[in-house]
């Protein structure tokens, strides 16, 4: 009542964005390079942070060139770090807007949005006697969170990376090996080629008896799932996939209007507003020329093309599109 139409929190956010009760945020306190293209970001989370279990990931909203983009990254800090900070470790991928921003441009002091941590890629409460970590590239990040969190009796790890200098946390891993806490095999794919899953018999002879956590590119995980199933031990394999699928933008495609449960084929030139209206979907509309924003609708999956600029917008949580100037660029799902 005192602050209508705003809320008191809108004013408090100006001075204390990390306070209890605020929308969850964090402040970047440091960015430390790990390899040529990976860095660890140290974040002080807001008071509302509920804490994580090692191996979980967090969704983080970063403003890149002024645009809020959300990505999920595994937490690499142990649960309950003394100083209350959390870390994520990010590998810059080609054309990755968020990853390149975090690795190369993010500055201490910047606020980022956070979600509560989530994910079931975690160690069981009572640690298994024999553990196997199978990782590749940045797939090492959730596993590093686990290694830092708990001392395990018998751990074997096979990690793939192009070259020795590309192995994230290499020094720390080798220190663990030296301390006798870890047995590690590095597979350098630039010289050795991609890991043939059949080689596990030779690298880790007792792999089938070990509780296994695998994280890496889709190819590796698909191969691992097949392999474990073939040997009838799939219940011992836990996997974590970073990218469910890559959107391939094309010309037109199947458009799903998920709220009304309709799917129709659309070409790459017809505005989705027209496509929806023809299909009998209740579409909000306004100027029908891209100026009034009366037609904005969430894009749940797929990609659309802006008919004015040709630019592609891909689905992400929170992405709204103007249906009157957007056409299907491949299959897509819009919430109407």
* Residues engaged in binding another protein (CB under 8 A): 1-6, 10-11, 14, 63, 65-69, 286-287, 289-294, 296, 308-309, 318-320
Enter the tokens of residue 205.
Answer: 């002879």
Give the Cα separation of 312 and 293 in Å (integer): 18
Residue 28 or residue 157: which is nearer to another protein going by CB?
28
Minimal distance in Å, beta carbon 82 to another protein?
A: 33
φ, ψ at 226 (rounded to 5°): -60, -45
CA-based nearest residue to 213, from 203, 201, 228:
228
Residue 215 or residue 283: which is nearer to another protein going by CB?
283
Enter the tokens of residue 45.
Answer: 């989370």
SS3 149: helix
Give the Cα separation of 25 and 13 in Å (integer): 10
Minimal distance in Å, beta carbon 40 to another protein?
A: 23
Residue 64 or residue 93: which is nearer to another protein going by CB?
64
Residue 54 or residue 114: which is nearer to another protein going by CB?
114
Rounded to the nearest angstrom, the gap between the alpha carbon of residue 233 and the centroid of all alpha carbons in its chain is: 28
Minimal distance in Å, beta carbon 67 to another protein?
A: 6
Residue 128 or residue 286: which is nearer to another protein going by CB?
286
SS3 177: helix
Minimal distance in Å, beta carbon 34 to another protein?
A: 25
Residue 199 or residue 308: which is nearer to another protein going by CB?
308
Minimal distance in Å, beta carbon 20 to another protein?
A: 19
Residue 4 or residue 126: which is nearer to another protein going by CB?
4
Minimal distance in Å, beta carbon 286 to another protein?
A: 4
Minimal distance in Å, beta carbon 182 to another protein?
A: 41
Neighbours of 178 (CB within 10 A): 9
φ, ψ at 129 (rounded to 5°): -65, -40
DSSP letters for 192-257: H-SPPGGGHHHHSTTGGGSEEEEES-HHHHHHHHHHHHHTT-GGGEEEE-S-S------SBEEEEE
């Amino acid at each position: 009542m005192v602050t209508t139409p705003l809320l008191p929190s809108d004013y408090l956010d100006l001075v204390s964005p990390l306070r209890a009760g605020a929308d969850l945020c964090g402040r970047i306190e440091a960015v430390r390079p790990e390899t040529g293209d990976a860095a660890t970001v140290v974040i002080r989370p807001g008071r509302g942070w509920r804490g994580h279990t090692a191996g979980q990931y967090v969704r983080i909203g970063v403003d890149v060139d002024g645009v809020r983009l959300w990505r999920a990254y595994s937490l690499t800090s142990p649960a309950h770090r003394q100083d209350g900070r959390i870390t994520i470790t990010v590998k810059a991928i080609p054309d990755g807007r968020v990853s390149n921003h975090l690795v190369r441009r993010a500055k201490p002091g910047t606020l980022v949005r956070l979600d509560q941590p989530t994910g079931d890629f975690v160690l069981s409460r009572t640690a298994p006697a024999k553990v196997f970590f199978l990782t590749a590239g940045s797939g090492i990040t959730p596993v590093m969170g686990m290694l830092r969190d708990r001392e395990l009796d018998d751990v074997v790890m096979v990690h793939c990376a192009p070259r020795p200098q590309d192995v994230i946390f290499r020094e720390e891993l080798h220190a663990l090996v030296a301390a006798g806490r870890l047995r590690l095999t590095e597979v350098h794919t630039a010289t050795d080629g991609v890991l043939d899953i059949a080689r596990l018999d030779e690298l880790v002879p007792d792999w089938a008896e070990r509780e296994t956590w695998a994280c890496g590119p889709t190819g590796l995980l698909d191969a691992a799932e097949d392999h474990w199933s073939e040997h009838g031990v799939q219940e011992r394999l836990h996997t974590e996939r970073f990218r469910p699928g890559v959107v391939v933008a094309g010309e037109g495609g199947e458009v799903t209007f998920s709220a009304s449960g309709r799917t129709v084929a659309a070409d790459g030139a017809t505005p989705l507003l027209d496509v929806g209206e023809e299909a009998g979907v209740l579409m909000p509309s306004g100027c029908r020329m891209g100026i009034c924003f009366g037609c904005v609708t969430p894009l749940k999956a797929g990609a659309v093309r802006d008919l004015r600029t040709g630019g592609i917008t891909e689905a992400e949580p929170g992405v709204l599109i103007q249906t009157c100037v957007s056409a299907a660029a491949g299959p897509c799902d819009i919430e109407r």
